[in-house]
Amino acid sequence: MVGICVISSRRTGVTDRLQGLEPDEALAPFVGICDGGARLDAGITIALVDTEAEAETAVRDGAHDALVWPSEAHRLVRAVLSARTAARREIDLVRYRTVFRQTAIWQELGDPDIVLLDVSDGFEAATAHTREAVVGRTPRELFRGGTHSRAFYDELTAQVERTGRWRGDMLGRRRDGSLGVLDTQIGLIRHGERTVGQYAIKREAGANRNGALQTWIDERASAQWVLVQVGGGVLEASSHVQEALGVGRDELLGRDPSVVGLTLDMPAPGGHIVGDQWLGERAFQVDVQRRLVGDMDVLHVVLLDVTTRKLEAEKLDLLAQDLAAARDQALAADRSKSAFLAAMSHELRTPLNAILGYTELLAEDAEGQTLADLDRVAVSGRHLLGLVDEILDLARIEAGAVHCELERVDARSLLEDVASTLALRVRRAGQRIEIDCDDHPVLADPQRLRQILTNLVGNATKYAVPGRILVGCRAGRVFVEDEGPGIALHQQEAIFEPFRRLHQGGVGVGLGLAVSRRLARALGTQLVVQSAPGTGSRFDLQLTIEGFEAESRAG
């Protein structure tokens, strides 16, 4: 408290004079004077005394620090008020600093030239700049950002002036030159009518909602990455990038990535493109994300070495191409083989038929040994014709020229038909045929089914010992069973391959089962064998009866 003792007198009219001189706020402290002294707002006590004796007493009491004549009183009060205002401001700033020195990072910007007045401990930690080194300097020279446009700063300033605050991400460089993304808040501190300070509080953006880019940088500490400004150069790169691009971070900064051979696809804003790219001897997966940081349009580019995977993939591709070529060759060879067989079979049939025809003609008039000889010619000719027919069948099937017309077939009469055709051979082999058939008609191409059954029963007569051959059809399942030598498990698939025979000699070239299995497939089913050496063999194929029943019901 400041006490002032003013020697005055109502009689001398000092107060009136003062009032007359300064009718504004400066006069306020004196308002109480007229009432004989008062404690005023500014904390100044004024005592009014009329005589020197009264003044002496007032000062001696210790209530007042100064004794002034009225003519000096006005100037003195003003000085005291101004000192008090300054002291209050100082207290505000000290309080402010105490609070904000504890926040993570902050910097205090002077107004209006934006020179740094003070920074917090957190600021020192985040930027590696010491307090002594930054106070008095401008943020621009310290952070060498240069990454944001003039328009960006103008807009920022305008907003601060308009609303008193601004918040957003800014890019700046630390003392070591590395790029940092700071979530920045700027606010104006006003004192009375005057702006006495402009402050920015900055936190490392990684810790909050705007920290995507910083998090992105932090998470890729050991990765190979570059940050590229769209329409500009490289803003930042990891120290590992040299492994991929062959040049270090420092050389890259500010340059177009294409100078080191890196071609970047341009995603739409907020978008993402991933692709592979060869850089010299090595392949990289290049992952490009496009983001906005403040007004900055940036590409986050991560490079991942995928050379091994790429080389493996290329090898596999080559292998696949080789395989495809080999397959095409094999198919082509197969097609030409089938075409050759078909053509040859046709060429063989014509003369064979002629031989058989003329043999029969000659046999009509022949007798004795000549007739017997002609019979042998005819038997051999027919056998040869049978073989040619089988070859022709196989070739036709493999060429896809066999089409089956499915129709309702009376299985029993078809089986009886086959049995009677082969009856002579069966009897000669010392065998008998039994038929076991239900009355379900089956859905099949009768001509093809007859051909399959003739082959199977024919084999049973060829390879089985004297005994029973059971042929039948139950619930659409057609089978031929014999009591012959049987077939070992490991040969049960082989017998369906063309020209594969287990028994050498005898009649046949190993085509019957191959043709039969393909015909069964053309009928939409599969021919299978069950057998064990010494127990006989059973060949089965399942024909459908369902569709047929549905058809008859509908009819």
Binding stretches for ligand ADP (CB under 6 A)? 455, 459-460, 462-464, 482, 484-485, 487, 495, 500-503, 508-514, 537
Question: SS3 sequence, 46-114?
Answer: EEEECCHHHHHHHHHCCCCCEEECHHHHHHHHHHHHHHHHHHHHHHHHHHHHHHHCCCCCEEEECCCCC
Q: For the CB of residue 538, give the shortest distance to ligand ADP in the complex, in Å.
A: 9
* HEC-encoded secondary structure of 369-429: HHHHHHHHHHHHHHHHHHHHHHHHHHHHHHCCCCCCCCEEECHHHHHHHHHHHHHHHHHHC
Q: Which residues pair with 253 in a beta bridge?
A: 234
Nearest residue (CB) to ligand ADP, 78 versus 500:
500
Q: Which two tokens stand for residue 378?
A: 């005819």
The minimum distance between CB 319 and ligand ADP, in angstroms, equals: 36
Closest separation in Å from C-beta 518 to ligand ADP: 11
Residue 310 or 538: which CB sits closer to ligand ADP? 538
Nearest of 46, 121, 113, 108 to residue 76 by alpha carbon: 46
Q: Which is nearer to ligand ADP, 267 or 467 (CB)?
A: 467
Beta bridge partners of 108: 118, 199
Cβ distance to ligand ADP smaller for residue 214 or 461: 461
Q: State the minimum distance, in angstroms, from the CB of residue 543 to ligand ADP.
A: 20
Residue 446 beta carbon to ligand ADP: minimum distance, rounded to whole angstroms: 21
Q: Which is nearer to ligand ADP, 307 or 491 (CB)?
A: 491
**The pair of three-digit structure tokens given for residue 88, joined into one six-digit string:** 């209050």
Pairwise CA distance, residues 518 & 521, whole Å: 5
The nearer residue to ligand ADP, 4 or 515, going by C-beta atoms, is 515
H or E element in which residue 283 lies: strand 282-293
State the minimum distance, in angstroms, from the CB of residue 536 to ligand ADP: 8
Our CB check for ligand ADP shows the closer of 294 and 512 to be 512
Distance CA 108, CA 97 (A): 9
Could you say which DSSP state residue 543 is in? P
- Chain position whose Cβ is nearest to ligand ADP: 508
Q: Which helix (H) or strand (E) holds 349?
A: helix 307-365
Indicate the residue among 174 and 500 with the shorter CB distance to ligand ADP.
500
CB 216 within 8 A of CB 205: no
Tokens for 221?
């500490």
Q: How far is the CB of 469 from ligand ADP (least distance, A)?
A: 9
The nearest distance, CB 527 to ligand ADP, in angstroms, is 11
Query: At closest approach, how far in Å is the CB of 511 from ligand ADP?
Result: 6
Q: Inter-axis angle of helices 512-522 and 446-463, to 10 degrees?
A: 150
274/489 with CB nearer ligand ADP: 489
List, in order, residues 6 or more apart from 323 with CB less than 8 Å away.
none
CB of 411 to ligand ADP, least distance (A): 20
Q: CA–CA separation, 354 vs 514, rounded Å? A: 28
Smaller CB distance to ligand ADP: residue 283 or 452?
452
Tokens 């058809």 locate to: 551
